[in-house]
Copies of this chain bind each other. A is one copy, B any other.
Amino acid sequence: MNRQELVHSIREKQSYLCIGLDTDLHRIPRHLHTHADPVFAFNKAIIDATKDLCVSYKINTAFYECMGIRGWESLQRTIEYIPEGIFTIADAKRGDIGNTATQYAKTFFDTYNFDSVTVAPYMGQDSVTPFLAFTDKWAIMLGLTSNEGSKDFQLQRMEDGEYLYEKVLKTGAGWGTPDNLMFVVGATQTEQIARIRALVPDHFFLVPGVGAQGGDLAEISKRGMNKDCGLLVNVSRGIIYAGNGEDFAADARTAALQYQSEMASLLSSIAPAPAVGV
């Protein structure tokens, strides 16, 4: 999916919601365990119930990998089930030297046909650029993450006084373009978000951390939106585990609808018309 299609989808659905399919076999409703593939049965119901409210699904690969081959089968069924026109993210946070990074890019773009994959910046340029060589595919590079550990290195200062994460964003922005590179910016980092938007005005941000991790949707949107919206705000547990009974999918829809409604309102109040606003 290219940038124009993504922006169009945000405008059409009045939503920049990404739903995180962090599906844990131990947390899904009990009645699904009779299915041959309970994780896929869960995801299928969530997708059916929310696909008109979100513009993206993010699959956290760890939750599938930990089940071994069975987990990869669930992942494959899920990615194949997600409708055309919805932006798909492999949240895999890969990063390795060039020839290995190429293998990872092939994995997620060719073998599984994701639109994008999250990548880690620590190993530098040759660990990221292989992901930028595919048409209409995206690398989503870690910038400033939502977790406590972001203080350990990302928020440490370099010799010129800027934070490490700022160097990462500025350097990374030179490797790709706003058409093939996004950045992960945690929703808990409200103090930093305006500064980050000033640094990289045109790139999309994938924003995790709203919901279970405590990030504030309105704050992050006011400070982080650009003329194309420029945000994909991810909610995982707050939507997919909104309910735990027979009607879990309806509960997930209710939770997703709340986010989408707030997003529609934020889009019209913040974004400069006519790019996304009306």
Contacts and interface: CB of A to CB of B under 8 A. Distances in A.
Contact of A167 (B94, B128, B156): B156
B68 A103 contact: no
A153 B127 contact: no
Interface in A36-53: none
Residue of A63, A147, A149 ringed by the most chain B CB atoms within 10 A: A149
A254 interface: no
B158 A157 contact: yes
Interface stretch (A10-18, A117-125, A220-228): A117-125
Nearest to A103: B62
Given A100-B62, A147-B97, A68 B112 contact: yes
A44 to B, nearest CB: 19
B95 A120 contact: yes
Copies in the complex: 2
Contacts of A156: 158-159, 167
Contact of A69 (B22, B76, B164, B167): B76
8 contacts: A62-B94, A97-B149, A122-B142, A123-B154, A125-B149, A153-B167, A158-B164, A159-B161
Interface of A: 22, 24, 60, 62-63, 65-69, 72-73, 76, 91, 93-98, 100-101, 103-104, 106-107, 110-112, 120-128, 142, 145-154, 156-159, 161, 164, 167-168, 171
